Structure 1
Amino acid sequence: MPSLYRRSLLRRSLATIAAALAPSIATARPSRPMPSVIVIGAGIAGIAAAQRLQRAGCRVTMIEARQRLGGRIWTDRSWPDAPVDLGASWIHGVHNNPVAALARQLDIPTTVYDAGTLSNNLAESRLYDADGAPVTAAWRRQLAADQDQLADRMASIAEKKAGTPLSMHDALRQALQDSALPAGRKTAAFELFSRNVEDDYGASVDEIAAWALQEGSGFGGREVVFPGGYGQLVERLAQGLTILTSHVVEHIDYRGPAVQVHTSQGVLSADKVIVSLPLGVLKEGKLVFTPALPAEKTGAIARLGMGVYDKLYLRFPKVFWDASDIITQLDTKQGIWSNWYALERVTGQPILCALNGGNAARLLEGMQDEAIVASAMQQLRSIYGSAAMQAESWHITRWAADPYARGSYSFPGVDALPDDRKKLAAPIQHKLYFAGEATHNDYSGTVHGALLSGWREARRIYG
């Protein structure tokens, strides 16, 4: 996901990251018997855990509900000359980032595409107003400065009200009330901040805890994408693993010495189980645990939210848009079609990608494909007029409707507690373990967070 206001940069030594990676160095296999492990979910967290466990000498079986691997990493190759990522796209910061290190180690090409850092876009993108008129460079810089000022004020407000449920919406209102900005700029700042938060968290400002602005860490350096698709990373890491696809897990029984995993294809058992399912699936509650999960864990699941962030890829006969990686339009209806990412530099083809989060994404998920494309084309024509030719083909995501995701990535709800992610990650009886981006306290909502969570749970088991 694009990273908007999560600015704190991780300070780790290269040696520490190298030690955490070390996939080319065989893990010493201890003389003691290693447990059998079932890993539920073949996303990046589950695959990372399974790879480490298998190398340590564990007997590992992965279970995946879908027919494909990767979970919320999903590269569509139906355009043979232009693979597109329907899920994760960016490596957010390449300095010391374990995903970037793996990409280099596996010799998977990447391309710099800094449009993922939305905080820089106002100053650097091509910006239009609601009527399709270009916004001046001076106004772009002013808007960017106002956003930074608001984020700082909101963080201060959230810190002062620590321990009290406070939504980002209420913190934003208070920050604007305390601000000396002119009325017109306050309105613009509110609308822009609200829209960008939806893009960053996949949820509206009234759903998110204000302290989320201070949550987590990030990596420095440029942002990059995979011209050949993020799926390459999944495919390489999954090599050599035993993975059972089309196995929907229905019930996990951990009463006995072995854990019984009941699936749509039968029952499997192992000494230990790692649950690396998306938070949205856990929140839905269809997966039965016996005994029931502890109240501390179910409370964390309830308080954390699952955001929605959807994509529309449009392919055209030729490029008609600005020579800019991102085109942004202010004050669009309900925040839909605010940001367009130009991908011709990455794919070599005339492709635009629009990303919509939160309420905008939920609204679009209820529409037919043709209606979505028509709405997008109407917005493009408000900027480019008749030069905006009709799209030839498209790809549309609906992550909230996906029964094996139920959303895109997690966020802290208004009532969430700062340690809820740790509660979600806590193992149970040395039998059940939990991985996934939602369980990582520092890097939630990211591929590197999911990857690190898988390694963390593997260490708990073999360490």
Structure 2
Amino acid sequence: MMLTRRAALLGLAGTATLGAARLSGDPDLVVVGAGSAGIAAARTAQAAGLRVIVLEAMDRIGGRAFTDTATFGSPFDVGCAWLHKADDNPYTAYARDNGFTLRAHEYDLERVWLGSAPSPAHLVNEAEDAMSEAISAAPEDVAASLVADVSTQVGEAAGDYLGALDMAVDLDELSTFDYANADDLAPNFLCAQGYGSIVAHRGRGLPVRLDTPVRRIRWDGPGAVVETDAGSIRARAVIITASTGVLASGAIRFTPDLPVPTQEAVADIPMGMLAKIPLQIRDQRFGLEPFTDVLLARRGRRDLYFLSFPFAGDLMVGFVGGDLGWELSAAGEAAAVDFATQGLVEMFGSDAARSVVKGALTPWASNPWTRGAYAAASPGRYGAREALARPVGDRIFFAGEALAGGLIQTCGGAYRSGEAAARAVRAVLA
């Protein structure tokens, strides 16, 4: 069953959608993308007195933060789920102040199967801790696979959990410096109504034009001209929050071309893949308490992680990442659901398959406006993040989870990045 993109637009009734109507006067700022970074950029710029318009290619706000309530009859976060670094996350206090239910949940493994054999979870947790220290201590920016010990089955499982299932890339594609400079994300919270619902709520009331992909940005004259299928908008500055996958695809063209260092930076921070395969389970809990973290570790980087029955619901939320995430995304929903269901069978026996009512596959690989889950700098290219953060011609600025400092790859970090970009625009325009 395909996940319904229009299913959970909580709070969207308050968003100002402008359709194809002409703006009365040129705005100071155009924000490209109404995800977490775009919402933050627009709110910050408005607070500074700038006239803003947000252009969103999809038919909803939130970007990769999206809660679907239709597919399974309960909230399911298709994208961002954990409020990382919750004690310093711009959504934590907002969620509490607006009636959302938060629950602390770290993701240390509690149940582990090495192949079909149950094994002590602490062995993988301890191996992952040791691997994390080794990668963080690397003196050069190289592939994490060069310093991580994956010679044992436990080590291979720890490597998959740290790389593919955390950073969305396998260890041979993970920059040691990128990993070392990422913040410790604890404490982590989950939201009963869905993280995407919080983000959508925070985006209410903004001047957003939905279903309006940006085709070209001209910066060969004063200010910038943003071209869409509905017409062109001239602004004094543009903040681009599109993913590096979208930028690398050429979906947005630039006249003149972006400077070579900017183009190289985009290429050096490619999108990784973390795909979710939620399974709805009937009349069975496999002896697992709600929120139990389960890992099925197979040889050959075929690992499958489950968040079990969050908020006492009926979902086993499977995760696959890195090359396997791309592979299953390409194979399609039926193949992915079969893969996850087979994982339950390997752990809990053949009867487990009969308990699966329905399943789904998150669409980030095939979505033309995301082209991946989140960005990971290539080995030896950690400096590309700083290069991409530099404004172009004092009129084109970039923001998003790829530019979130220590909070890379997080929704909260994307918000902080959008705030910072808007402040930079305000300083230049002033």
Of the candidates 187, 206, 215, which is equivalent to residue 250 of structure 1? 215
3-state SS of 1:199 partner: helix
In structure 2, what is the equivalent of residue 18 of structure 1? none
In structure 2, what is the equivalent of residue 429 of structure 1? 393
Q: Is the 8 A contact 2:100 2:192 kept in 1?
A: no
Q: 1:371 to 1:154 in 2, by over 3 A?
A: closer
Q: Is the 8 A contact 1:248 1:265 kept in 2?
A: no
Q: In structure 1, give the amino acid aligned to 2:144.
A: M
**For residues 371-410 of structure 1, what are the structure 2 equivalents within 5 Å?**
371-388=335-352, 389-410=354-375
Of the candidates 34, 40, 44, which is equivalent to residue 48 of structure 1? 40
Pair 1:135-2:127 in alignment: no
Q: 1:301 to 1:321 in 2, by over 3 A?
A: same
Structure-2-length-normalised TM-score: 0.87
Which is worse superposed, 245-254 or 293-302?
A: 293-302
C-alpha separation in 2, matches of 1:337 and 1:414: 23
Task: Report the Cα offset of residue 80 of structure 1.
Answer: 6.8
Q: In structure 1, give the amino acid aligned to 2:330.
A: G
**Count of equivalent residues:** 400
Q: Is the 8 A contact 2:153 2:299 kept in 1?
A: no
Of the candidates 84, 97, 105, which is equivalent to residue 76 of structure 2? 84
Task: Report the Cα offset of residue 272 of structure 1.
Answer: 1.1
Which is worse superposed, 100-109 or 402-411?
A: 100-109
Q: 1:230 to 1:152 in 2, by over 3 A?
A: closer
Pair 1:190-2:156 in alignment: yes
Identity rate, percent: 27
**For residues 152-301 of structure 1, what are the structure 2 equivalents within 5 Å?**
152-156=133-137, 158-159=138-139, 162=140, 166-172=142-148, 186-221=152-187, 223-301=188-266
* Deviations 1:151-210 (CA, angstroms, capped at 9, x unpaired): 323333x21xx2xx521112225xx7xxxxxx7xx3431343134311111111111222
Q: Unpaired runs of 5+ in structure 1?
A: 1-33, 177-182
Q: 1:130 to 1:187 in 2, by over 3 A?
A: closer
Task: Report the Cα offset of residue 334 of structure 1.
Answer: 4.3
In structure 2, what is the equivalent of residue 111 of structure 1? 103
Task: Report the Cα offset of residue 333 of structure 1.
Answer: 5.7
Task: Report the Cα offset of residue 412 of structure 1.
Answer: 1.4
Q: Is the 8 A contact 2:123 2:154 kept in 1?
A: no
Q: Is the 8 A contact 1:216 1:443 kept in 2?
A: yes
Q: In structure 2, give the amino acid aligned to 1:313.
A: P
Q: In structure 2, give the amino acid aligned to 1:392.
A: V
Q: Is the 8 A contact 1:95 1:219 kept in 2?
A: no
Task: Report the Cα offset of residue 450 of structure 1.
Answer: 0.2
Pair 1:64-2:56 in alignment: yes
Q: Is the 8 A contact 1:39 1:275 kept in 2?
A: yes
Q: Is the 8 A contact 1:172 1:190 kept in 2?
A: no
Q: In structure 2, give the amino acid aligned to 1:232.
A: S
C-alpha separation in 1, matches of 2:99 and 2:293: 31
C-alpha separation in 1, matches of 2:301 and 2:316: 18
C-alpha separation in 2, matches of 1:373 and 1:263: 37
Q: Is the 8 A contact 2:385 2:402 kept in 1?
A: yes
Q: Is the 8 A contact 1:410 1:445 kept in 2?
A: yes
Q: Is the 8 A contact 1:126 1:322 kept in 2?
A: no
Of the candidates 390, 411, 415, which is equivalent to residue 380 of structure 2? 415
In structure 2, what is the equivalent of residue 449 of structure 1? 413
Task: Report the Cα offset of residue 239 of structure 1.
Answer: 1.8
In structure 1, what is the equivalent of residue 86 of structure 2? 94
TM-align CA RMSD: 2.1
Q: Is the 8 A contact 1:130 1:329 kept in 2?
A: no
Task: Report the Cα offset of residue 313 of structure 1.
Answer: 0.9
Q: 1:85 to 1:57 in 2, by over 3 A?
A: same
In structure 2, what is the equivalent of residue 23 of structure 1? none
Q: Is the 8 A contact 1:337 1:376 kept in 2?
A: no
In structure 1, what is the equivalent of residue 128 of structure 2? 147
Q: Is the 8 A contact 1:192 1:330 kept in 2?
A: no
